[in-house]
Structure 1
Amino acid sequence: MLLKEVIDTGVIVVPWSCCIQGTVLAGDSGISKTCEKKCKSERPCLVTEANGEALCPYGLSYFSSTVGSAPVVVFGVKGSLVGSKISKELKHELKGRNLDEARFKEWVQRLNHLDSVIDKHILERQSELLDPLHDPIRLARQLEAISISLLESSGSARTLDAQLDQASAEMKSLVKAAGLLNDYFDLVSIYFNPAAARFGRPVSTSLHGILRKITSILSGFDAGEEGARIKVNFRGECYRNFNLRESFKIIPFSLISNAVKYCLSGEVTVRLREMQDRAEVSIVSQGPPIEAEETDLIFKKKYRGQWSRSLRKGEGVGLYLAKIVADAHNININVTSQRLGGQKFGETPLATNTFKFEIPYQINK
């Protein structure tokens, strides 16, 4: 959220002390003495899920809302809930800090408008930045096609998986690297232009084939700075076709590559299960816990879970891109994280993390 940085420059006047997406800004009036001395840095108003005005334990009003997807809290002010029966000291402290619901909503509305203008400009700029990548993207696809052609001509096996099993180490590396490069370019395209997730009409596609390819490419690649190689197992079968856009593969690619990156114990397992009217895909791994309040936040741009931040370097965009493409396909990604007792990886607790989504079967008319 760039709006937070814009406000922090001082170009935009903030009338009250507030917190925008975790960053506290003193505002023109400064932070009240009660907030500064009694609450210090542990302010309960900043972790509340309330919307609108509420009263803090020390008798001051705070107002909560959202700008875009970011939480915004104005605190240490005098609203309608404060009342008249307060100490002289508090009355003196709140002088000039009056705020009502209507004024707060108007301020939030203006911030939302500014945030949307900034986002629109960024998207336009990102689309321009994507233009020079058209030729490299085309060459990456050509490289992948050539590598597969060389693989097919070098063996006698019937299926691509069998050919890859029989190939030399150099040929396996070439095919996997070419496929990985192509998939990363697709990620870049969606990142610079999120609208591209909806490009093209849905076509009949083999979900089983997509998952086999991605698990084959990502299996055995380095998980992180330690150089550990993580195996990715693919289990289950489903040979029905599904109406999917070309961008769909970014969902399993992002989820599986994220699981590989943060896998701390064992292997990553990708399961495909046929159900009565749909297919279910789940990606299961053991890694850092995902706290309950983070299961939605990890899909926000640039956000990373508290345990993940201390474990690996990252930009927080993989799951964000998966969510963009999932929304374009009306797919919901469900996340669960179950801690493994007292098991740890160094200082990091271990948990079984599961990312799951479902796709309805194609209806033939």
Structure 2
Amino acid sequence: MRIRSSIFTKLFSTYVLSSIAAFLIFSTVLYVLFQQDLKGDFLSTLHAQHEQVERTLQLAYEEGQNKEAIISTLGFNNDNSHKNIYLYGENGELLHLFSDSEEPLHIEQEFIEQALSGNPVNEFVNEKGHRIFLMVSPIESNTLVEFQEKVLVIALHGYDSVAKSIKGMFMLAGLITTIVATCFLFLVSKKLSAPLQTMNVVAMEYARGNFDRKVKVAGDDEIGQLGETLNHMASELASLDNMRKEFVANVSHDMRSPLTSINGFVGAMLDGTIPQQDQKRYLHLMKDETERLIKLVNDLLDIARIEAGQVSIQPQNYNISEQIRKLMAKLEPQLTKQKLEIEIQSNQDDDLYVFADKDRFDQVLGNLIENAVHFSPQKGIVTVRVLGIGREVSISIEDQGPGIPREELSHIWDRFFKVDKARSQKVGTGIGLSIVKHIIDLHGARIDVESEVGNGTTFSITLPMASKIAKE
């Protein structure tokens, strides 16, 4: 079974390991520096002792003291139990030893010979597991009297005890620092990971379809921004989910109504309920319902292909004015039924040509003009303007319908969105305008909408004008 590591565990472990590593490096460097400083202190002490021995010997020889007096004076000066003094003659023989230790320290003959040649030795030696600092240096006489003593050896035994006490202090300080730092880092890690853990729980709720929960944002840092992003995502998902539910209901209704009508008409014809002379009229009704179903299915297929990125355009130069006239002709029966008028206005004497995908723009203009016709009241007017402005062509479709509330204008391009929430009119499924917007975006063109409740709606499209050579 794999154990999942939480963000808190990762943060806490990273912080603690980093802190321990930094402390170890710091302690090691500090301890090395301390050892160097301690060695310097020991060396200063030994140099002072060396000078003291030289002065004692000089006074003793100047005053003509005998050997016993000299030894007595040197022994009196050696008042430190952690220090041993050795005096050697010019042949390397041991002349005097001043030590409180039961067993005197063995001094390497190599050190004595090196000092006799004028090269002092300062170094640590190991003696029965203890480090002892040795200073082996020649004795110089500043008087006319020649000293018998030629080499002074001073051994300090206290280095290990001092180093161990300092090492213990370092370890105690490190232990206390580690405990305090661990507690502090625990709290910091908890504080940093708590919002992320909360976001994880909330995100799981979003995955289950519950978009009501929100993340409490308590700052403007990256975590706070992530919380705001999650809240915004929840709002968008909730909106999309509502539209999806409405879309399913709308599609179900739009498919059930014509299917029910067709089924009823076919059943009535089969059992002879509809007279022979009326069957043609009912067949036309069935054809209209079938066309509604075909348009619905085509819209669904188009939006699915658009979302899958499978829709492409193939622009060409063509006559946009002629295309609009053909669309008007197709809508003639519906215009007559609703007693509507369509006006085509242009600021050019000749037809206008554009550079666009003719088939896709036939779909765009068909959607927009059909919407204008459906939403316009009886005896109303639908105005289509085709204007040449510089090197662009502007096409606007204006109706006299109920208009769109200002707060809903920004949502009309969303999938499944319908202004007519009550479905008082059997018009569309809320994906027609979404298809229009996607096709316009693929062309790199622009579409604008202006609407006022009670005063109709105007959609305006701007396309590049075709070149004159292409038009000819």
TM-score, with structure 1 as normaliser? 0.47
TM-score, with structure 2 as normaliser? 0.38
Larger Rg: 2
Q: Which has the higher helix share?
A: 2
